[in-house]
Amino acid sequence: MSTQPIIKICGIKTPAILEAAIDAGADMVGFAHFPRSPRHVGVEAIGDLISQARGRVETCVLLVNPDNSVVAEIAALGPDWLQLHGPETPHRVEAIRAEAGIPVMKALPVGSAADLAQVPAFLDVADRILLDAKPPKGADRPGGLGVPFDWSLLKALDPAIAFMLSGGLTPDTVAEAIQRVKPFGIDVSSGVETAPGEKDERLIAAFIRNARMAAAA
């Protein structure tokens, strides 16, 4: 029997695209709350999107190095998960998880084998690990850049560690990613867009279809 990876579509901004992701069979959807992002969604709109998704698909709100007031404000909206995509330390992840009272996914940037050495320190404080491409120097945000990393680096990781894979995945590359890396889950944003922040329902459907077929093969 094949194991299907969890599929997360990140950076959703509108009710219509949320419906498209649910219809296409996403397991999890992400809403970015980071003003510098082309996918930024304000607190009230995130609340509406979470209400629309409740009981139909898992929801995740992406934050970058949030202070406790932001964590509390977002947690009060009732998402299933928080995603921490900044330079949060293990100690800070633990504190945010306690403040929010919901599971936390910690994103970690990977640009070299040495970057994987930080993973074990987060295993006891985060409920899930997401491995993403390290942003190039000078990037204006720490993720959602559509850049892949060298998956062969992951050979250095303890195979018992389950992780979500992200960074530059597209409908054309997701099958190879699943077959080579065998991640617990996959996460995409730019690869299902026509321009930064502009999700496309046909690309979302193609991404999910190709991922499901690859995992079943």
Ligand X SMILES: O=C(O)c1ccccc1NCC(=O)[C@H](O)[C@H](O)COP(=O)(O)O
3-class DSSP state of 37: coil
Q: Which is nearer to ligand X, 32 or 208 (CB)?
A: 32
The residue with its CB nearest to ligand X is: 144
- Number of neighbouring beta carbons within 10 Å of residue 160: 5
d(CA 158, CA 58): 27
Q: Which one of 132, 140, 172, 187 is the catalytic residue?
A: 132
Q: Which is nearer to ligand X, 21 or 55 (CB)?
A: 21
Alpha helices, DSSP H only, in the chain? 15-24, 43-53, 68-75, 90-100, 119-123, 174-181, 201-216
187 a catalytic residue:
no
Closer Cβ to ligand X, 2 or 172, answer by number: 172
Q: Which amino acid is at 28?
A: M
Give the nearest distance from C-beta 145 to ligand X in angstroms.
6
Nearer to ligand X, 47 or 144 (CB): 144
Residues 6 or more apart whose Cβ sits within 8 Å of residue 150: none
SS3 160: coil
Smallest distance from ligand X to CB 68, Å: 19
Minimal distance, residue 62 CB to ligand X, in Å: 6
Binding site for ligand X (CB under 6 A): 10-11, 32, 34, 37, 39, 62, 64, 85, 132, 141-147, 166-169, 187-191
| Shortest CB 1 distance to ligand X, Å | 28
Whichever of 29 and 100 has its CB closer to ligand X, that residue is: 29
User: Is there a catalytic annotation at residue 60?
Assistant: no
What's the Cα-to-Cα distance from 140 to each of 11, 134, 165, 185, rounded to whole Å?
16, 12, 21, 26
88: helix, strand or coil: coil
Least spacing, CB of residue 58 vs ligand X, in Å: 14
The angle, 0 to 180 degrees and rounded to 10, between the axes of the packed helices 90-100 and 68-75 is: 40
The residues annotated as belonging to the active site are 10, 132
